[in-house]
Amino acid sequence: MQEGNRLSRVHQFAVLLCSCTVVLLIAGALVTSNDAADSVPDWPLSYGKLIPPMVGGIRYEYMHRVIAGLVAILTLVLAIWIARVDKRPWMRRLGWTALGLVVAQALLGGLRVLEGHAAISATAHAVLAQIFFITLVSIALFTSGWWQGKALSFQDTRSPRVTTLATWTTVAIFVQLVLGALFRHGAFGILPHLIGAAVVSVMVIWAAAVAKRRFARVPAMRRAVIWLHSTFGTQIILGGAAYWAILKSADTTQPDLTYVILSVAHVAVGALLLASSLLFTMVSYRLVHPAGEGLPAVETLNASAAAPAETR
């Protein structure tokens, strides 16, 4: 029980760190959307100072660095905390992996400032940020009371299995975020990103429909599908609005407020969509297994059997 209480506090801290990372992603998106990436020419200092003049694009770049520093410190605390209280070796490795990712992210951000090559370094910086974020989301799930407790398992006898669809949906969303980062940083036009959006739409609708048909009475699966649908629907709306804002501001010399708000929101919700799909995938693997003895089949699910066991 004492170990469970300690992990509960780790879980709460991990959720807080996930929230701070979303703020960091928003801060990074503000740098790009305001064309402020080259406002500060040096790193790790800013114009040779700890606190530079807060004018123009320097404000966005500097605040991005400050928030990144805070997230790095919190990640160090999380990694040490997990190493001290979590008995699972793979969880300890995951905590240190998160710390390694945030350090690599800082170095990659410095490389972007010092060496330029935005289409490559800035895209890599954006992609690594998404990997770091979903690593934290995974830690938050793995330290939760629901994951620690016992839950009924069900067999999926149909094809394709829901776990397969969920996995490929997450892969498609991640690739789409890479394409979006490449577009935002000028590697190519918007067409690959639009094709990616069509693929993601098919995968999300297909995977969610399968999960709803086969596991509608499993509360955890139901919640996972709701989160996936909510973030996906919001992202589609924001994507269309952001593209309209791009066309609207094509002839302007400076990004207008509408474009900045919509593009930043599109980036932030994209990260939440990836996290939602990852949670959907991990919940699927936690509850659903290939056909095997002793597991209730999809066709025999009922409300009483579907409820997960109480957390210890």
Q: Higher confidence at residue 270 or residue 298?
A: 270
How far apart (Å, rounded) are the C-alpha atoms in residues 181 and 35? 14
Q: How confident is the model at residue 158 (pLDDT cuts 50, 70, 90)?
A: confident
Tell me how many degrees the CA angle 61-194-259 measures, rounded to the nearest 5: 40
Assess contact for 19 and 272: CB atoms under 8 A: no
How far apart (Å, rounded) are the C-alpha atoms in residues 251 and 246? 10
pLDDT in tens, 131-145: 999 999 999 999 999
Assess contact for 109 and 43: CB atoms under 8 A: yes
pLDDT in tens, 188-215: 889 999 999 999 999 999 999 999 998 8
User: How many other C-beta atoms are found inside a 10 Å radius of the C-beta of residue 22?
Assistant: 17
pLDDT in tens, 54-65: 888 899 999 999
Report long-range pairs for 193-199 (Cβ below 8 Å, ≥24 apart): 196/172, 197/236, 197/239, 199/172
pLDDT in tens, 221-234: 999 999 999 999 99
- Asked if the 1-148 domain carries CATH number 3.40.50, the reply is no
Amino acid at 97: T
Per-residue pLDDT, 64: 94
The percentage of the chain sitting over the pLDDT mark of 70, rounded to a whole number, equals 91
Assess contact for 102 and 75: CB atoms under 8 A: yes
Q: How confident is the model at residue 148 (pLDDT cuts 50, 70, 90)?
A: confident
Whether 167 has a pLDDT exceeding 60, the answer reads yes
Per-residue pLDDT, 291: 62
Whether 307 has a pLDDT exceeding 80, the answer reads no
Per-residue pLDDT, 48: 86
Domain ranges of the chain: 1-148, 152-312
How far apart (Å, rounded) are the C-alpha atoms in residues 281 and 7? 22
Per-residue pLDDT, 183: 92
Q: 169 by DSSP, 3-state: which?
A: helix
Helix H or strand E segment including 154? strand 154-155
How far apart (Å, rounded) are the C-alpha atoms in residues 105 and 85? 26
How far apart (Å, rounded) are the C-alpha atoms in residues 212 and 225? 8
The CA-to-CA distance between both ends of the chain, in Å, stands at 8
Mean pLDDT within 243-268:
87
pLDDT in tens, 44-55: 888 888 888 888
